[in-house]
Structure 1
Amino acid sequence: MTEHIEKIQFLISRFDRETLEALEKITAKEQFKKGEILLQQGKVCRKSYLIIEGVARKFTYSDKKEITTEFFFKNDIAISFTSYINQKPSREIIECLIDTTVESVDFNAFETIKKQFPLLMEYDILLTELYILWLEDRLFDFHSLNATERYEQLMKKSPEYFHHLKLTHIASYLGISLETLSRIRAKR
């Protein structure tokens, strides 16, 4: 993920003062408490949330069971991608797992200013590309790594926040049973 952050930082370093000021005007710093919801299922994802500090997760329900599809750590952008791009109701929920600080940007405000500032169009494309790369990596890992390897990769992603993740959420994210997760953890 470091190389992705470097790409974003390099692009932002090319922003002129006017572009930076326009982006800053539509960016709000927000604080959320543990358990607060950033996005409700059935609501349109109208903001993107850059995680500054904290942890959030994205999940949905299947057969009355929670299925965790994504964790968001520092420097991740928490959105329901399909809902955000299409401005349609979300199938997912985004919940803060601990007190979380974000920088939020309103979808409509961003759409308006990116027409005025071409580098913001590049920024938008880069973020979309990075999300696609993450998704492809996730799919590849899910099909090519065993459960222990997937668990270890998740631990490495953000070790300082890993202890905030509930075991049921981790098992769901990894696509394994809680019993299998317990066996993996016992071997470590």
Structure 2
Amino acid sequence: MNEHLKKINTLIDGFDAETHSALQAISKTKKYKKGEFLLYQGEVCKSSFWIEEGITRKYYMNEKKEVTTELLFKHDLAVAFSSYVSNQPSREFIQAITDVTVSCMDKNAFQHLKINHPQLIQLDLLMTEYYTMWLERRLFEFHTLSAMEKYKLILKEQPDFIRHIPLTYIASYLGISLETLSRVRTKI
């Protein structure tokens, strides 16, 4: 994944000045407090959120129970992808777990810019590839790793942030009960 991020950064670094300026003009830095929502279920996702600082989660409601599908950290893209692409209401919420700073980009403005700035088409493709690879990895891990392996992986990849995430969110994200997570944590 880091190699793909390097490709994205190299592409952006190579943008001509006009493309850089155009992209900057439609990118807005926004801050969200812990608990605030970047997107509500039922809204159309009209923006992408590149996380600069903090942690967000994506979740949906299932029989009055929150199911966390993604935990997103610095350099992750927070977007309700199918809503973003299809212009349909989102099935998910995106919520700040900690105070969060994001670079927010309006989808329509970005689509319009791609007409006159072809480098942005390549950026769009690389970002979609990055998200798809992340999602494929997440699905593979979800279905092949044990509860212990999943928890160790998140500890390894995000050791500084794990203490900021409520255990109920972690258990839901890992697809295990809170009781199973407690047993896993006592063995580490």
Which TM bucket (shorter chain)?
over 0.9
Q: 151-160 vs 112-121, which deviates more?
A: 151-160
Q: SS where residue 89 of structure 1 aligns?
A: coil
Whether 1:157 and 2:157 are equivalent positions in the alignment is yes
CA contact (8 A) 2:168 2:178 kept: yes
Q: Which residue of 1 aligns with 2:135?
A: 135
**Which deviations, in whole Å up to 9, do the C-alpha atoms of 1:60-87 show, x marking residues without a partner?**
0111110000011001111101111111
TM-score (norm 2): 0.97
| TM superposition shift of 1:156 | 2.2
| TM superposition shift of 1:11 | 1.1
Mapping 1:1-188, distance limit 5 Å = 1-188=1-188
| TM superposition shift of 1:14 | 1.8
**Which deviations, in whole Å up to 9, do the C-alpha atoms of 1:32-82 show, x marking residues without a partner?**
111110000000001111111111100001111100000110011111011
Report how many residues are paired. 188
Paired AA for residue 164 in structure 2: H
TM-score (norm 1): 0.97
| TM superposition shift of 1:169 | 0.5
CA contact (8 A) 2:51 2:73 kept: yes
Give the distance between the partners of 2:76 and 2:157, measured in 1 at CA: 11
Give the distance between the partners of 1:61 and 1:80, measured in 2 at CA: 14
CA contact (8 A) 2:53 2:101 kept: yes
**Which deviations, in whole Å up to 9, do the C-alpha atoms of 1:1-33 show, x marking residues without a partner?**
322221111111221111110000000011111
Unaligned 5+ runs, structure 2: none
Give the distance between the partners of 1:156 and 1:84, measured in 2 at CA: 31
Paired AA for residue 105 in structure 1: M
Unaligned 5+ runs, structure 1: none
User: After TM superposition, where is structure 1 displaced by more than 3 Å over at least 4 residues in a row?
Assistant: none
Q: 34-43 vs 133-142, which deviates more?
A: 133-142
CA contact (8 A) 2:5 2:130 kept: no
Paired AA for residue 68 in structure 2: T
Give the distance between the partners of 2:80 and 2:15, measured in 1 at CA: 27
